[in-house]
Structure 1
Amino acid sequence: MTRQPRRIQRRRTPGWRLATATTNPLGAVIVSRPSRYGNPCKITLMQEMGYEDPHAAAAGNFRTWLAGNRSDAPTDEADQRRERILASLPSLRGKDLACTCPPGQACHGDELLRLANLPAAELTARVAVVRARVDRQRIAWGEEPMYAAVA
C-alpha cells in the first residue's frame, strides 16, 4: 500500500535534514521560494496590499498564475518559469514536498501536490490547456506564442 504524498515543513535549523523529515520511500523535494518550484508571489507583497491572510492570497495567486493567467506577470520570464514548473510536475509525482510554510497554513506546495499526483492523462491534458491559454493571451497582447501550433 502506497502512502499519500504530503507537504512537510522545511526547517532552517542546524541539523535538520530533508532525508530524515520524510518517511516517503520516493523521497521529498524542496519547493520553497528559492527553489525551481518556488512561488513567485511574495507573502510580504500580499501583506502590504492589506490581505487578512497573506499566505492564502499568495497561494491563490500561485494557483491562478500556474493555471495560465498572465495578468499579474505578463513577462517572458514568468511564462518560462511557469513552463519549467509545468514540465517538471511529473517528477514530483508520489514525493513529499517541503516548504517553509507551517502545516495547516495555505501554501503553493499544496497546489503542486494536487497537480503532480493527478492521473498522468489528466495532468497532460491540464498542462495542454494551460499552454493554450498562455498562447492565446500572448497573441491577444501582440506577443509571439510560446508553443508551436499543433496540427
Structure 2
Amino acid sequence: MQLETLRCKVVPRRIQLKHTKGWRMPSDTRKVDGSTIFGNPFQVCGRPRDEAVEMFREWLAGADYGPVMVSPILTQRLEAKRQWILGALPYLRGKHLACWCPLPDHGHPDLCHASVLIELANKRVAGGRHQKVMSCATMDVDEELELVNRRLAEAQARVDEQRRRAMRLRRDPPAERICREALRQFEVSLQLLRERRAYLLKRGKSSDGRQPPPE
C-alpha cells in the first residue's frame, strides 16, 4: 500500500527518555514506554531489537502471537492490550512519543515501537487506495471527528461485549478477574475517545458557529 506524507508545520517525532538531571519531557509529548499501556509486549530482551519492533507492528495489524505467549491467560491479556492501543491511537495523534530506546544514527531506521505508534496514529485511509501520514495540523475538524466517531462506536461495542462476557464468567473468579481487567482498559480507551470528541465538537462550533450534533 503506497504511503504519501503530507507537509505540515509540526511533524510528530520520537523522543528518547533520559535520567539526566534537569531533563524534562518536551511539551506535546506522550510517554509510551513499558510503564504505560502503549508499551511493546514483545520485550527486546532475548531477541533482536528489530525483531521485537516488527512483531509489535505485525501484532497491531492482526497477527496472532498467542503461541509466543504460551499461556492462554497471557494471550487473552495480549488481545485486550491490542484492542486498547488501537482504540486509543487518536490520543497519540499529532504528539511526539517518548521511549527509552536509543535514537538511530542519521540514515538508519528507528528500531523502537514508538516509531510504529507515530506512523499508525498519524495515518488515515484516503480513497480506499492510498494511506496518507498526517498530523492534526493537516486534518480538518470534520475529518478527525468522523474518524473519532468511528473509533468511538467500535470502542463502545467492545466495552458492551466485555461486560456481557464478565457476567457469564461470574462462576469462574480467575477468568472473571482477567476479563474485568481487560474491561477497565477498554473503558479508559472509550473515555479518551469521548474527551477527544468533545474537544473536536467544541472546536468545530467555535470556528463556524454550528451547533454540535447530539450525543
- 1:9 & 1:70 partners in 2: Cα distance? 29
1:59 equivalent among 53, 67, 79: 53
CA distance in 1, matches of 2:147, 2:91: 15
2:9 corresponds to: 2
How many residues end up aligned between the 2 structures? 114
Matching of residues 32-47 of structure 1 within 5 Å: 32-46=33-47
Q: 2:84 & 2:147 partners in 1: Cα distance?
A: 18
* TM-score (norm: length of structure 1): 0.66
Q: Which amino acid aligns with 2:43?
A: K
Q: Could you say which residue in structure 1 is the equivalent of 2:112?
A: 107
What SS does the aligned partner of 1:45 have? coil
Distance apart, 1:65 and its partner CA: 1.1
Higher relative contact order (CA 8 A, sep 6+): 1
Q: Deviations over 1:77-122 (max 9, x none)?
A: 0000111111100111100001111111401111100000012578
Q: What is the identity, as a one-letter code, of the residue corresponding to 1:111?
A: V
SS of structure 2 residue aligned to 1:32: coil
Which structure 1 residue ranges, 4+ long, deviate > 6 Å from structure 2? 121-125
Name the amino acid aligned to 2:98: A
Overall identity of the aligned pairs, in %: 38
User: Unaligned regions of 5+ residues in structure 2, if any?
Assistant: 1-7, 105-109, 125-143, 155-215
Q: Which stretches in structure 1 are left out of the alignment for 5+ residues?
A: 47-53, 129-151
Q: 2: distance between equivalents of 1:36 and 1:15?
A: 26
Match of 1:148 in 2: none
Higher share in helix: 2
Looking at structure 2, the residues matched to 18 and 7 of structure 1 have their Cα atoms a distance apart, in angstroms, of: 11
CA distance in 2, matches of 1:86, 1:17: 28
Q: State the Cα deviation string for residues 62-88 of structure 1 (Å, max 9, x = none).
A: 111111112334611000011111110
Q: 90, 103, 121: which is aligned to 1:116?
A: 121
C-alpha RMSD of matched pairs (Å): 2.5
